[in-house]
Chain A
Amino acid sequence: MASPMIEARGISRRFGRRWALVDVTLSIPRGSTTLIAGRNGSGKSTLLRVLATAIRPTLGSATIQGHDLVAAQQDVRGSVNLLGHAPYSYDPLSALQNLQIAARFLEIESNEAVLRPLLARVGLEGRRHDPVSSFSAGMRKRLSIARVLLRTLPVTLLDEPYANLDAAGFTLIDDLIRDLHQSGSTVLVASHMVDRVAPICDSAVLLEGGRVASIGTGSAVSERISSNPDKTPPRNEQ
């Protein structure tokens, strides 16, 4: 059996006195699409940020494609693409300039002719010269998607990809997940929209209060969530 793409052992992360993740252990197979479900504050974003090496785990360890998150951080960054909550954009600059900066640091083609189709794909071609400060939240999200599309990497992490988007944007994300799945990429999608995402996922992980509450098929997890609508997660604080 092929070794898992992502292996997490006992990952815990605290912010001040609050533990956002507690003892998360997961094994994500190569090429699979996994839903990370859970309420607000359940730790979905934190988990993705830890796996993307944006933040370090307080306890525990993880490897992605065999590279340790902390010891081989640069290698992990070369394998993982993150569509995060934060837009990662420079407000004073235009959409095109933001993409060009990313392209330059990636040392790939950065002239307008090459990046324009990318912006067109996410529906920003007409506004490419406008400063990002004038963008709505949805447009910033589209720019982030364009940024992610600059690279094709083995692992893609999507943190609330549908947030702030309109119906056309939803289709954009659906297509993105489908394309990634078909190309054999390993995908983790953190989302509230369980009913939309579960059908296209191989499996789902439910987080509650920073801990792994259950792992199963998308429909099983979806059922569990809908059967416990009012349960508040425990507070992990000293």
Chain B
Amino acid sequence: MTSPRLSRRLPLLFILVGAALLLCGSYIGLFVAPPERMMGEVQRLMYVHVPTAWNSMLALTFAFIAALAYLIGGAWKWDARMEAGIEVGVVLAFLLCVQGSIWAKPTWGVWWDWDPRLTTTAVLLLAFAGIIALRRFVDDPGRRATWSAVATIIAFADVPIVYFSVKWWNSLHQLQSTPQTVSSAFHLPLRMNAFGILFLMIGWIMLRSRIAQARLESELAPPPAATSFSDNAHATAGGHR
């Protein structure tokens, strides 16, 4: 059981450790690791691209689990966590698409190459951004929580289907896909970045859930105490005539 002071500082701790790992990993990946034989310098992008991919899926999976937990149990903290998971997942997915474009332009000469994984990410990004929009348009907290939980489950269930459909669709046109995970001996920067982004993400989700929870608490505040205006607040209706 963590003391209250530690649990308050925990997200900050995660973010600091994560940032440190990411900086070290990126340094090693950019300056120390040798360039990849066939791709050259641009391959170094994989050191952030792959960890971002893992973590964005992780964030959205967390959102999915939180959605299930809310629908089954009804505890408000799960709604806060789901909101955080979706937002962080969407940001990471967006970064993933940007990284993908940065990689594609020097490699294929186009900004977008319809790679199945990246295309699925783009669709996911739009689907979950839509859920964020949905939350903005619903005022009642209960309804907002239930509807976005339902939408999250439906969008998440679609992920494998979208992936396979884009893969089949693309398989006739594209002969190469994005290169596999860094195959060189330097897994160290990759792992450091993976954990770096993971810790950043965890700290971020914790902070964001906290904000969402605080907002929920103000929305769900109990009714004001009875004033002297109304008396006899509790009674039994008698059977007299």
Contacts and interface: CB of A to CB of B under 8 A. Distances in A.
Contact of A214 (B218, B231, B239, B240): B231
A16 interface: yes
A59 interface: yes
B21 to A, nearest CB: 43
A215 B229 contact: no
Given A208-B229, A213-B230, A214-B231, A12 B223 contact: yes
Contacts of B241: 202, 217
A23 B226 contact: yes
A56 B145 CA distance: 15
Contacts of A214: 231-232, 235
Given A29-B239, A203-B237, A203-B239, A211 B221 contact: no
Contacts of A19: 223-224
Interface string B199-240: 000000000000000000010111110110111111111111
Contacts of A28: 237
Given A16-B140, A22-B223, A23-B223, A34 B233 contact: no
B237 A32 contact: yes
Contacts, number: 78
A59 B221 CA distance: 11
Contacts of B224: 19, 22, 236, 238
Contacts of A211: 226, 230, 233
A29 B227 contact: no
Interface residues on A, range: 35 or more
Interface residues of B, number: 24
Interface string A7-42: 000001011100100110111110010100000000
Contact of B233 (A23, A236, A238): A23
Nearest to A17: B219
Interface of B: 139-140, 142, 218, 220-224, 226-227, 229-241
Q: Which 10 A-B pairs have the closest CB atoms?
A: A27-B236, A19-B223, A22-B223, A215-B235, A203-B237, A25-B234, A211-B230, A213-B230, A214-B232, A215-B237
Interface of A: 4, 12, 14-16, 19, 22-23, 25-29, 32, 34, 56, 58-59, 202-203, 205, 208-217, 233-234, 236, 238
16 contacts: A23-B233, A25-B234, A25-B235, A29-B239, A56-B142, A202-B241, A203-B237, A208-B229, A209-B229, A210-B223, A212-B235, A215-B235, A217-B240, A234-B227, A236-B224, A238-B218
Given A23-B226, A238-B221, A238-B224, 10 more contacts: A22-B223, A25-B235, A56-B142, A210-B223, A214-B232, A215-B232, A215-B238, A217-B240, A217-B241, A233-B229
